[in-house]
Amino acid sequence: MNNFLKQTAASLLGTVLGLIIFSGISTTGLLILLLTLASSKDPGPLVKDKSVVVFDLSMNITDREPSSGEVFQNTLSGVKQERMTLRSVLDTIAKAKSDKRIVGIYLDATRTGGANSLGFASLKEIRKALEDFRASGKKVIAYGMEWGEKEYYLSSAADTIALNPLGAMEINGFSSQPMFLAGALQKYGIGVQVVRVGKFKGAVEPLVLNQLSPENRAQTQKLLDDIWGEWRATVGKSRKINPQKLQAIADNQAILEATTAKTNGLVDQIAYSDQVVTDLKKLTNSKEDEKSFRQIDLMEYAQVPDKSLPVERTAKNKVAVVYAEGEIVDGKGDDTQIGGDRFAAIFNKIRQDKNIKAVVLRINSPGGSATASEVMQREVRLTRQVKPVIVSMGDVAASGGYWIASDSNRIFAEPNTITGSIGVFGILLNGQKLANDNGITWDSVKTARYADSQTFARPKSPQELALYQRSVNRIYNLFLNKVAQGRKLPEQKVAEIAQGRVWSGVAAKQIGLVDEIGGLNAAVEYAAKQAKLGKNWQLQEYPKESTFGERLFGRTVDEISTTLGFQQLDIKPTNPLTVEFQKIQKELAIMQNMNDPQGVYARLPFNLKIE
């Protein structure tokens, strides 16, 4: 419902702005329109009896709500926003399970892209919800054209899986192909010096090496093996296929045509879309002459009120869910980042709110600024002293992301969550060769030996590097100590499992970094139980979206100016060369966001991506 009202508000705003520009509508008239919108209530969409919920797997799913800037930009540019939060997807599937008007869920995998934006931990949560829906006796039907491992991971939870006769499936295992920039930096005269702690801290390797170090290769291989093993076990159980057979398919076939996929038991039917529609008509008791089966889109069905859901209840006692998604940066950060000061303020407010009885910190972050992580971790510790703080790890909660989790009451993770990476580093760049090659030189006058140690004009001396290393060592030891105290582990054991090493969720549980295997729902239920709330409580989410008036009269001017300035749209490239160039762009963007005041970072390897 909230998402519908936001989209409606944004759409109306675009119309109103057009009227202002071209018709000169008065401010009073604008305010009247806004008040009318604010006072209107939408009863929700109509759901017909025996309907199927259509879940388009190409939809973008994230932890947080879209920012006001994104809503305005998409509205004014005419781009349709097909996006839901993971929380909303899980709630909507649960709502459909208990709704007598809903007889099934149709997983539409004819378009790709959405599932690829999620990691396997988030996909695991959605898959669990689908299995729970199916266990109620209702049907789940999946139909696709070209399945990758991620789309099929979800679709394999269905009762019936159908593949287009011209379709195909890719089952070739997982890989990670990090990009190394050291050669390019050297070629163009950019010097890089690194100070770090932890033999597995591979975050800096793309800047100083041309290939993976043996340690980084070993940890990446173990991580991929764990996640691939979970994929084979989960898919194999649903499809009654031995994991060893799935391994043989990946090793020997990789790309399966429709008939081969059916022969191997990966799909149940080979069918055209009209044949699938015919089957769905039978399920929904639709007439043969009707254009399609009786259906409602997942996003539309999410707008149907259901007061049994914690997020829609009205109760005095509340459980707060704080979504920490993105890079951890010093200061407030923007809507796509975890600003240390901004999130510390959120926890400070939650701690003083007597109606909030427990907190779930949902982390989806590779880490970032060590200083910002410490600012947040302090507020988590203070909040824990007055009410339970439970952590739910999403696709990735590592380095700084684990730093802020370490002092909570309990940590939940999925088997395929990427976590750990307890290590720190600093990157020291210099442009001496680049400048000198182009006729630029520097000179220096100073009053003390290290007065110009921050310079970009030259490499750091051995003495200066020793100073930076001392700072990194201090912060690393602080990190170890915090993990040891928060997890109640001996410091020696933490030192052994740290070293910047990355772990899967299942491995992290075995070594004591995680308490329970479970998703966001499990963490929320545990938090409510710890606070002894029974059934009478309400879910409250943070960061809160600004109100419609705040968006219009506060940040809107700059956002509209950016949009009207013909900001480039985010169009997904299909050209392989373009994709690789965008990877380089992302690498550089990560470095641009590195703003720790001490220059020390707790972060995953820059380009750890599982494909």
Render 229-249 in DSSP notation, one character per residue.
HHHHHHHHHHHT--HHHHHHH
Domain assignment present for 65:
yes
**502 lies in the same domain as 575:** yes
Domain assignment present for 186:
no
Q: Say what the pLDDT of residue 113 is.
A: 56
Q: Tens digit of pLDDT for each residue in 228-248?
A: 999 999 999 999 999 999 999
> How far is it, in rounded angstroms, from Cα 17 to Cα 78?
14
Question: What CATH number has the domain bearing residue 577?
Answer: 3.90.226.10
**290 lies in the same domain as 343:** no
Residue finishing a domain among 301, 336, 366: 301
Domain assignment present for 440:
no
For residue 69, pLDDT beyond 60:
no
Q: Tens digit of pLDDT for each residue in 27-44?
A: 555 555 555 544 455 567
502: tokens are 């990355």
| Best CA proximity match to 378, nearest among 355, 407, 402, 358 | 407
Q: Which residue has the higher pLDDT, 574 or 567?
A: 574
**285 lies in the same domain as 337:** no
Find the helix or strand (DSSP H, E) in which 323 lies.
Answer: strand 318-325
Range of the domain at 14: 2-178+211-301
> How far is it, in rounded angstroms, from Cα 15 to Cα 327?
35
Q: How many domains is the chain partitioned into structurally?
A: 2
**400 lies in the same domain as 491:** yes
**286 lies in the same domain as 349:** no
**35 lies in the same domain as 95:** yes
> How far is it, in rounded angstroms, from Cα 601 to Cα 476?
10
**331 lies in the same domain as 297:** no
Residue finishing a domain among 255, 274, 301: 301
Angle between helices 462-487 and 370-384 (to 10 degrees): 20
Domain assignment present for 62:
yes
Q: How confident is the model at residue 99 (pLDDT cuts 50, 70, 90)?
A: very high
Residue finishing a domain among 257, 276, 301: 301
Domain assignment present for 464:
no
**323 lies in the same domain as 225:** no
Q: Which of the residues are catalytic?
A: 201, 399
Domain assignment present for 265:
yes
| Best CA proximity match to 88, nearest among 108, 121, 68, 62 | 62
Mean pLDDT computed over 292-302: 94
**377 lies in the same domain as 498:** yes
Q: How confident is the model at residue 133 (pLDDT cuts 50, 70, 90)?
A: very high
DSSP state of 184: H
Q: Which residue has the higher pLDDT, 421 or 569?
A: 421
**125 lies in the same domain as 237:** yes
What string of H, E and C letters represents the secondary structure of 270-295? ECCHHHHHHHHHHHHCCCCCCCCCCE
Domain assignment present for 445:
no
Range of weakest confidence among 139-143, 304-308, 339-343 = 304-308
The angle formed by the CA atoms of residues 351, 353 and 359, to the nearest 5 degrees, is 55
Domain assignment present for 442:
no
**225 lies in the same domain as 255:** yes
Q: Cα 474 to the chain's mean position, in Å?
A: 31
**554 lies in the same domain as 506:** yes
For residue 2, pLDDT beyond 50:
no
